[in-house]
Amino acid sequence: MINGGPGGSHHVFHPYFSEAAKFAQVIYYDQRGTGQSSADDSGKTYTIKQAVEDLDQLRARLGLDKWFVLGWSYGGFLAQCYALTYPEHVLGLMLIASDDGLTNVEMKPGRDQMFISDGERTTINKIYADEEDGKIGLMQTNFNKDICGDWKRQHFYKPTPEEFARTALYEWNPAPGFHNLMNQEYFKISLDGKFDDF
């Protein structure tokens, strides 16, 4: 199971996919630089290619010849890159709200935005601007934007403040620089449209 982001952790899948352990072997993992995985202080190994290689090394380490790969959001993009690189090890590809890597294609706004009011959107954009200016960190950004209405993009119900805090503390806590480095690479690959470099 490949989490979203870039920068999210496997915690986003709990407790929902833990139920699947009743009928399948469920493998949670955190990408290098996220969650409980090791970090690279230099940031040089934070690349899409390395993330794909890490995923295949995990498969080999677990002694699996083939597996089903599930990717959510950015993790769906990474899952597709993995499947293109190692099709011989993929039994199936499951994509949930997956990024497709087509940043140069203009699409209509999704339904995820239609429930956020103009006032909420203004506040959320201000929060993102404060993060970009270095006034607040990623955890504060995620907590504040969700409290201010961004929760509507990914939930059918309003989570409790405790759930917002859990998301901010555990689901989105990447190593310093990870989010920006991986975003830059993602957009470069998406704009170039070249997945064959893997």
Give domain 10-192's CATH superfamily: Alpha/Beta hydrolase fold, catalytic domain (3.40.50.1820)
Q: What predicted TM-score, i.e. pTM, was given to this entire model? A: 0.81
Contact 135, 117 (CB under 8 A): no
Q: What value, to the nearest 5°, has the Cα angle with vertex 185 and ends 49 and 47? A: 30
Q: Which pLDDT value is given to residue 192? A: 63
Interatomic CA distance for residues 150 and 184, integer angstroms: 23
Spell out the residues 6+ positions from residue 3 whose beta carbon is closer than 8 angstroms to its own: 9, 10, 12, 13, 30, 31, 34, 35, 72, 73, 75, 171
Helices 178-192, 48-61: crossing angle, 10 deg rounding = 100
pLDDT of residue 193: 58
The pLDDT score that the predictor gives to residue 76 is 92
pLDDT at 103: 58
> Where in the chain are the domains?
10-192
Residues of the chain short of pLDDT 50, as ranges, are: 198
